[in-house]
Structure 1
Amino acid sequence: MLEQARAPCPWHQPVWTALVEQTRHAHAYLFGGPPGIGKRQFAQAFAAFLLCNEPAHGMACGRCRSCLLRQAGSHPDVCTVAPEEEGKAIRVDAVRQLGDFISQTAQQGGRKVVVLYPAEAMNQNAANALLKSLEEPTAETYLLLVSDQPSRLLATIRSRCLVQSLGMPSRSAALEWLGQALPELAVDQREALFVMAGGAPLRAADLAAMDALRMRSEVVDGIKALLKSQAGASQLAERWSKIPLELVADWFHSWTLDLLRLSTGAAETAVNADMDKVLGYMAQRLDGAALMQWQAWLLEHRGMILGKANLNRVLLLESLLLQWKQLVERR
C-alpha cells in the first residue's frame, strides 16, 4: 500500500519546486541518495501530485476523488513494487505483474504511477524485465524508482530514467524535523538519535521506534564493564540477544571512525558523545596497526551482517568484543 505522503520533506523543497513546475514530466525518474533522508516520501508525494485531479500550490490537493482513493490505499492506478520482506530481493514475478499494470488503461481515466523501491533490490532477472517497461513507455504512465545505491543498478536502467539526487538535510533542519516528529523526547535524546542515524532524520525516527536509545545504553554500559574486566565477552554476547546485529555493527563502526580521528589528532572529541571518555581513553593506548586490522575485520563482518549472511550470532559478538578489548591490551 502506498504511504499517504503528499508533501516532501522540508529539505527537499527546492528540488520539489523545480520538479513540479515543469510543464512536461519524464516517463521514468530515479530518486537516489543516502538511506533515511526521505526519498520514498518524495516519490510518494510526487505520485500523489501526478494523480491528483486538482493540484494546488505545487501539491496534491488531498480532497479530490483521486486523492481520497489514494489515501484509502485503493487507487486502482497506483502500483507499488517492493520486496515481500525487508532486506529481500524484488523478484521477477513482481516486475512482470508491473508490466501487466502498465499495459492496462487507467481506470480513473487519467495517469498511472508506479513506485518501486529500493530499486537496487531487484535481482538480475527482475532488472532485465523492468527494462522492457522503460524501453516501451505508455502514455500517461510514470515510473518512480527509489534507490539508496543507484550505482548498483544496471547502466541501461539508469540511462532510461531522469536521475534526481536527493541530499542530506543540514543538522539544524534535521533536528528541527525530529523535534516535530518526536516531541516526547528530550533534546539530548533527539541529538543522540541524529548521530546514531548518521544525520538521516527518518532513520533516526525509525531508531526511536525500535527503542534504540535503551539498547544503545545497554551496549555502552556493557563496553565500559568489558574494558574494566567487570563483564566477559561471552556474558555480554548472551545478554545482547535481542539487540539487532545491524545496530551493534553500525555502532562499532561509528566508534571505530571516532578512534581513527582521535588517535590521529583529526579530532579532539568523539562524535559519539555517550562514548567520548571511553574512546578518548582507548585512543591514547591503542596501536595504529592493530586499529587498522580491527577496522578491516569489522568492515568485512559488517558487510556480511548487512548482507543477511547466516552467522552464529553469539560467536560473532564474542569475537567482536574480544578484539575490541585487545585493542588497548596489545601495546
Structure 2
Amino acid sequence: MVDILPWQQDIWQGLIGRTQHAHAYLLHGPAGSGKRQMAELFARFLLCKQPQAAQACGQCRSCKLYAADSHPDMLRVEPEEPGKGILIAYVRELVASIQQTAQQGGRQVVILEPAEVMTLESANALLKSLEEPSAGTVFLLITHQLSFLLPTIKSRCVLQACPLPDLAQAKTWLAQQLPSLDDTQLTKLLQLSGGSPLKAQQFAEDNVLQMRADVVEGVKQLLKRQLAPAQLAGQWTKLPTVLLLDWFAQWCQNILRYQLTQNTVDLGLQDMQPVLGHMAKFVQAEQLTETHSWILERRNKLLRRAPLRADLLLESLLVRWMGLIGF
C-alpha cells in the first residue's frame, strides 16, 4: 500500500482528524508536491468501513474493491488525454452518478484533476453540485494553478495547501527512489523541478537531464549562428513546450538579477552560466523584461490549452532570443 509522503504527515493528520468531513476539499500546490497521492489515500480512508490507526484498514470489502480499482463509489474525473480539458459531458455524467445511492452503503468520493482545465461550462455544472451536495458525497479537487479556478468554486471548498518539502528532505526522499544517481544528478534534478521531488523523479524517468544538455547546446549553436531559429525550433518540437518556456523565462530572470548584482550565483545552473553571463553584457533590461512577459503570456495560453503551434511558437521565441543581443 502506498504510504503518505514524509512531508505530508502534518497535513494528513489534519485531514483525517476532522470531527466532521467537508463535502468538498481543494488540494492546491506546485506540481509534483504529492497532491494526487494524498487525495487517493484520503479517498481510500473515507471509503473504508473500519479505518484504523489513521489509515484505511486494507481488509474490508471497500478497501479490497479500491485496491482492485473497481470500487463503484470511487469516481474519477480527468481529461480524456493529457493536454485536453475537462468537458461538460464528463461533469454531467458525474452529476448523474452521484445522484444515485452509494452502492456500498457509505460515502461516494470524487477525485477531479486537474481542476484548472475545466471549461467554463464544466465549472458551472460542477458548481451546482458543490452548492447542493448529495448526502455522503465528498469531492476532492486537485489543482496546480489555484488562480485559474473560479472564485465560486474555491469558496465552496475547504482549501488545503500542499507545499513542497525543504531541499534536504526532498533530496533524502529522491535518493531513496533513485539510488543509481549521484548527489550532483539529484541536486540538478531538484533544481530543474523547482524543488519538487515527485517532479524530479518524473524528470529522471523522462531523461530530462539529457534533454537539458541538448537544449543548452542548441542555444549555444544558435548564438554562434551555427543553427537558424527555424532549424532549432524544428529539433525541439517533440520536447515539452511549457518546460522550454519555463527555462527561457528563468534565464531572463537570471540575467536581470546578474546585471544588478554581478554575482555569478544569480546566473542559475552552471550549464548556462557562461552563456547568460555573456548575454548580460549586451542585453538591455527593458528588452529582457518584454521578452520575459512575452514568454509568460504564451506559457499561460498553453496551460489554458490555447491551440498554439509548437514550431511557430518556438521559432518566434528563438528569434526574440537572438534579438536580445542584436542578432
Q: Which residue of 273, 277, 282 maps to 1:280? A: 277
Could you say what secondary structure the match of 1:292 adopts? helix
> Which runs of 5 or more structure 1 residues have no equivalent in the other structure?
none
Could you say what secondary structure the match of 1:264 adopts? helix
Q: CA RMSD in A?
A: 2.2
In structure 1, the partner of 2:311 is 314
Q: Distance in 2 between matches of 1:170 and 1:259?
A: 26
Alpha-carbon deviation of 1:186? 2.5
Q: Which residue of 5, 10, 15 maps to 1:9? A: 5
Matched, 1:36 2:28: no
Select between 177-186 and 114-123 the one with higher mean Cα deviation: 177-186
Could you say what secondary structure the match of 2:264 adopts? coil
TM-score normalised by length of structure 2: 0.91
TM-score normalised by length of structure 1: 0.90
In structure 1, the partner of 2:139 is 143
Is contact 2:48–2:57 with CA below 8 Å preserved after alignment?
yes
Could you say what secondary structure the match of 1:144 adopts? strand
Structure 1 segment 1-331 matched on structure 2, within 5 A: 6-265=2-261, 267-269=263-265, 270-329=267-326
The structure-2 alpha-carbon separation of the partners of 1:133 and 1:127, relative to structure 1 and needing over 3 Å to count, comes to: same
Q: List per-residue Cα deviations over 1:70-104 (Å, max 9, x = no partner).
A: 11110111001111122222122211222222222
The structure-2 alpha-carbon separation of the partners of 1:183 and 1:124, relative to structure 1 and needing over 3 Å to count, comes to: same
Q: Distance in 2 between matches of 1:298 and 1:105?
A: 48
Could you say what secondary structure the match of 2:102 adopts? coil
Letter in 1 for 2:89: D
Q: List per-residue Cα deviations over 1:105-136 (Å, max 9, x = no partner).
A: 22222222111111222222222222222222
Is contact 2:111–2:139 with CA below 8 Å preserved after alignment?
yes
Alpha-carbon deviation of 1:169? 1.4
The structure-2 alpha-carbon separation of the partners of 1:261 and 1:102, relative to structure 1 and needing over 3 Å to count, comes to: same
Q: Distance in 1 between matches of 2:262 and 2:304?
A: 31
Q: List per-residue Cα deviations over 1:175-205 (Å, max 9, x = no partner).
A: 2222122223232222222121122222222
Letter in 2 for 1:291: L
Letter in 2 for 1:148: H
Could you say what secondary structure the match of 2:79 adopts? coil
The structure-2 alpha-carbon separation of the partners of 1:87 and 1:56, relative to structure 1 and needing over 3 Å to count, comes to: same
The structure-2 alpha-carbon separation of the partners of 1:257 and 1:62, relative to structure 1 and needing over 3 Å to count, comes to: farther
Is contact 1:6–1:44 with CA below 8 Å preserved after alignment?
no
Q: List per-residue Cα deviations over 1:265-311 (Å, max 9, x = no partner).
A: 18531222321222222223322222123223322333334344334
Q: Distance in 2 between matches of 1:266 and 1:167?
A: 32
Select between 38-47 and 289-298 the one with higher mean Cα deviation: 289-298
Q: List per-residue Cα deviations over 1:5-33 (Å, max 9, x = no partner).
A: 75332212111112212222112111112
Select between 286-295 and 70-79 the one with higher mean Cα deviation: 286-295
Give the length in aligned residue pairs: 326
Aligned-residue sequence identity (percent) comes to 48
